[in-house]
Amino acid sequence: MEQSVQVWRDGRAGRIRLNRPKALNALRLEMVGLIRAALEDFGRDPQVHLVLIDAPERGFCAGGDIRSLRAGVLAGDTAAVTGFFRAEYAMNQSVADLGKPCVALIDGICMGGGIGLSVHGSHRIATEKAVFAMPETAIGLFPDVGASHVLPRLPGALGMYFGLTGAQVAGADAVHAGFASHFVPGERLAALAAALPQEGIAVIAEFASPLPAFSLHGARPIIDAAFGAPSVAEILRRLAADSSAFAQGALAQLRAQSPSAIHWSFEILRQGGGRSLAECLAAELALVSQVVMHAEFLEGVRAVVIDKDKSPKWQPASLEAVDPATISSFFAPGPA
Ligand code: QUE
């Protein structure tokens, strides 16, 4: 059987290749373990000067295997569900701790867990086909995999905007936003992958294209004004007070997500601005252990990948109806 993750040495590079293309490389526990072990080995190996992560067949990585996680919750196997997130977040930390360049080649979908696998590394190469998003509020979760560290550090309030709405950002725009570090045309990606193990990361500059203007440039004032607000209620007020198509579209996007998830996502992102990555991942693990038990997660995954009806029945059904005390209880220090 084909390995879901392929690991090998190639010149000066340690290679990690995602190989579950039919599921858009959605991460499973065994994949996360293989990636983490490879990162630790490459980190210690003096012959390895850089690590190259790619997924050449289809997309980059759609996130986690949320169908299996939902089945785990329904079966009452919470230890397995929490264990997956624990292993995934440890792998995210291993990317950050590699101690040498980590280059991700992103030529398609890069969402959720795919961002966690790439964004903590030094080099994230996006092509025109790359699409980045943190879509967790659509499945009743929150931006995790270290996103509570990364998103608050994006320009202005872009991180709160992406993290709450799940808005997608593609190609060169992903470099402007900060998910990617370089823009390389897809037709040159294979040549870059061949050159990197021989020539090292300096060769990236020879492949990177200058960036066209950021398509969100015109929307930055409203994004920063609204999503920089100190509460969810105030974000809603500021968007509602702006009649532009962008503001009304963002408001509609917010209202389509799990209302509870919007509230706990706002809070974890707010807190993450003042935390280290390790602290963020620990806080995310404490939060995810609670929210996967919430009905929103089961319903969100049902609507997105089980029935694919895209009409989740959220409970409570509106942002205004969410009880602040319930949200606070998810952040209270619980049993260890
Ligand atoms: C939120 C998510 C995920 C998602 C959709 C969301 C996610 C994920 C997938 C996904 C997509 C295609 C597949 C697959 C999984 O969708 O994490 O197996 O073929 O993996 O709104 O977090």
Pocket test for ligand 1, best of 20, 29, 31, 111 (most atoms within 8 A of CB): 111
Amino acid 334: pLDDT: 60
The strands making up 102-106's β-sheet, listed across from edge to edge, are 5-10, 13-18, 50-54, 102-106, 123-126, 182-183
| Closest ligand 1 atom, residue 113 Cα | 17
Residues 6+ apart with CB under 8 A from 139: 66, 258, 261, 297, 300, 301, 304
Residue spans of the chain under pLDDT 70 = 1, 334-336
Kindly give the distance from the C-alpha atom of residue 241 to the centroid of ligand 1, in angstroms, as a whole number.
33
Task: Determine contact, residues 166/257, Cβ cutoff 8 Å.
Answer: yes
pLDDT tens profile 252-302: 999 999 999 999 999 999 999 999 999 999 999 999 999 999 999 999 999
Determine if ligand 1 sits within 6 Å of the CB of residue 229: no
pLDDT score for 333:
74
Q: Does domain 5-133+173-207 have CATH number 3.90.226.10?
A: yes
Instruction: Give me the active site residues, please.
Output: 64, 113, 136, 144
Token pair, residue 173, equals 């725009």
Residue 316 amino acid letter: P
Answer whether 136 contacts ligand 1 (Cβ < 6 A): yes
pLDDT at 72: 98
CB of 112 within 6 A of ligand 1: the answer is yes
List the chain domain ranges. Answer: 5-133+173-207, 219-330
CA 133 to centroid of chain Cα atoms: 6
- Best residue among 18, 305, 309 to mutate for probing ligand 1, ranked by most atoms within 8 Å of CB: 305
